[in-house]
A and B are shown apart, each in its own frame.
Chain A
Amino acid sequence: MKRSNAPIFWSLFGAGGMLSALIGPALVFITGIAVPLGFLLPRDHMNYPRMLAFAQNWAGKGFIFVVIALFLWHGTHRIFHSLHDLGIHTGVVAKLVCYGGALALTLIAAASLISLGF
């Protein structure tokens, strides 16, 4: 029987799932609720100078990239399998849209973050 290439996508899915399970709630609360409302965190905590400095720092850049990329690969892997669960079997097209989309968005993230310099 032919060996499946699923381990690649499954490993990314697992890493993204673990990361989002461990720190996802805090990230969502900070970026989407606390800072925008100035609730428990200052409203200017994510302003341009601070975020630029964070993203130009190699650790900050890496953190942002890893979060975006792994969340994307986790989600698109599950979406791909959910399409199958719902009886939508468009084969290669579904794979291209899901994983291709994840790849494209990952590359965009990398390009944006790298363009900010160090």
Chain B
Amino acid sequence: MSNRRPYVRPMDGWWWRSDPFFVRYMIREATSVIVVAYAVVLLWGAVRLAQGEAAYNGWLEALRSPLSVAFHALVLAVFLYHTWSWFSIMPKTMPLILASGRRLSPAVVTGTGVAVSAILCVVLFLLVLAMKP
């Protein structure tokens, strides 16, 4: 007869609060809510655009409100964090790469990603700036 009576410790939805590492993970995952929110804002603009000038101007006017600008400032901060966290986790998804005999370091991957993002963002901004009326 066995005296075994294994005890299973329950796990609830708050497991992540115990450790800063997990909190940062949950924040990283939470950026998804803002990404969806921004996509919905753009989608709303596309829908309004399809409904004609008056409807679209309504959307455009709403973007000019202080609430909207403040919201987009928050969205910008979240997107910047997303860029950082995305390229921070990217090395973990890559196979081992040897460059001239030495391992490609995670810092190089992250740094390159963030640098490319910065460059593309500037390029995009300049393209928009240069767009003719």
Contacts and interface: CB of A to CB of B under 8 A. Distances in A.
Query: For chain A, what secondary structure do more than half of its interface residues adopt (helix, strand, loop), or is it mixed?
Result: helix
Contacts of B32: 74-79, 82
Contacts, number: 171
By DSSP majority rule, is chain B's interface helix, strand, loop, or mixed? helix
27 contacts: A18-B86, A20-B35, A21-B117, A24-B82, A25-B79, A25-B80, A25-B117, A27-B124, A28-B79, A31-B72, A32-B41, A32-B76, A33-B69, A33-B76, A41-B129, A48-B53, A64-B42, A67-B39, A71-B36, A76-B32, A82-B29, A82-B32, A85-B13, A85-B26, A85-B29, A112-B43, A113-B50
Closest 8 CB pairs between A and B? Answer: A32-B72, A87-B13, A78-B32, A75-B36, A26-B121, A71-B39, A112-B50, A75-B35
B36 A37 contact: no
Contacts of A96: none
A24 B79 contact: yes
Given A24-B38, A30-B125, A105-B39, 19 more contacts: A21-B83, A22-B116, A22-B121, A24-B82, A29-B72, A29-B125, A32-B72, A40-B129, A47-B60, A48-B53, A48-B60, A51-B56, A71-B36, A72-B39, A72-B40, A75-B32, A79-B33, A108-B43, A109-B46
A59 B122 CA distance: 20
A93 interface: no
Interface in A45-66: 45-48, 50-52, 55, 64
Contact of A25 (B33, B50, B83): B83
B19 interface: no
Nearest to B35: A75
Interface residues of A, number: 57
A27 B30 CA distance: 20
Interface of A: 16-18, 20-37, 40-41, 44-48, 50-52, 55, 64, 67-68, 71-72, 74-79, 81-82, 85-88, 105, 108-109, 111-113, 115-116
